[in-house]
Amino acid sequence: MSLRDRYTIAYPPLLFGAWIVAWIINVALRERFQWDANTDTIYWIAMKVIVWVLPALLAIRIIERASLVEFLELFHVRRGLLWGGLVGLAVVAVNFLGKTLPAGTPVHVLTFNLVLLNAVVVAPLVEEITLRGFFLKRLELNGRSFWSANLLTTLLFVAMHVPGWLFKGRFPSMASLAQAMIPLAVLSLLFGWTKTRSQSLYGAIVVHTINNLYSAFFP
């Protein structure tokens, strides 16, 4: 088994384990120092860079010996923006007509702060660079078909959200947790499809950003 095969197998559990450790440290620090939402957000932005992005970028440069722009497919900017925008608008339309409008959810007045920046800008960049840019591409290079790689990337994407949900106590039962996983998995598959259809990571970043912005307006 090659080095690339070994680290591809080891990457998901290592990333997931490191993220759980980040949550444990966060809980301990919050209880110790009673910090505010901005301080908490700064912590999470730092952890996303350290735990998510840096290992992926280092693997691309050191193990893959590849250009970050080429490996992550950070090109075809116009095509990426176009596909990301169109798919993002479709996601908004489905959410609005299928969920927001029937429920009568009011518009949330946004406060432009670090919390919003983290949700709308940092999270899409971090998650798409790490998962759709790095992990999905590595799986395909290992011989996986696109949909197989997209599914495995989606499983990791969903799993990475679970620690936060559990530490925050958002879903008290397994049934409610499972219900939250399904739409997240659909979105992840769509992000991956948008990336490969547009041949640009910008496509996935844009649709992810639009989805998170909509969720900020209609939480």
pLDDT per position as a tens digit, 167-198? 888 877 788 888 889 999 999 999 999 999 99
Count of domains observed in the chain: 1
Determine the distance from the C-alpha atom of residue 181 to the mean position of all C-alpha atoms in its chain, rounded to a whole number.
13
- Separation of alpha carbons 219 and 215, rounded Å: 5
Q: What average pLDDT score do residues 61-72 get?
A: 95
Arithmetic mean of pLDDT, 15-27: 97
- pLDDT at position 129 is 98
In this model, does residue 85 exceed pLDDT 80? yes
| Integer Cα distance of 209 and 124 in angstroms | 6
What sign has the CA pseudo-torsion 170, 166, 128, 38?
positive
Q: Is it the case that residue 153 has pLDDT exceeding 80?
A: yes
Confidence band of 219 (pLDDT split at 50, 70, 90) = confident
Mean pLDDT, the chain, rounded, equals 94
Rounded CA-CA distance 120/41 in Å is 13
Name the band, by pLDDT with cuts 50, 70 and 90, for residue 92: very high
Q: Is the pLDDT of residue 65 over 90?
A: yes
Q: What is the pLDDT of residue 170?
A: 80
Q: Using the predicted structure, report yes or no on whether residue 2 has a pLDDT greater than 80.
A: no
CA 185, 191, 196: angle at the middle one, nearest 5? 130
* Structural domain of 35: 3-217
Q: What is the mean pLDDT of residues 89-101?
A: 94
User: Cα–Cα distance between 169 and 167 in angstroms, integer?
Assistant: 5
Spacing of C-alpha 50 from chain mean position: 15
Q: Measured between alpha carbons, how far is 157 from 153 in angstroms, rounded to an integer? A: 6
Residue 134: what pLDDT?
97
Name the DSSP class of 113: S
Judge contact between 146 and 140, C-beta under 8 A.
yes
Residue 78's region, left for phi above 0, alpha for psi from -120 to 50, else beta, is alpha
What is the share, in percent, of the chain residues with pLDDT greater than 70? 100
pLDDT for res 176? 83
CA dihedral 159→132→10→2, nearest 10 degrees, is 160
Q: What is the pLDDT of residue 159?
A: 96
pLDDT mean over 129-148: 96
Record the tokens describing residue 167, joined without a space: 């530490």
pLDDT above 80 for 3:
no
More confident residue, 214 or 175: 214
Q: C-alpha distances in angstroms, 10 versus 16, 61, 211?
A: 10, 18, 30
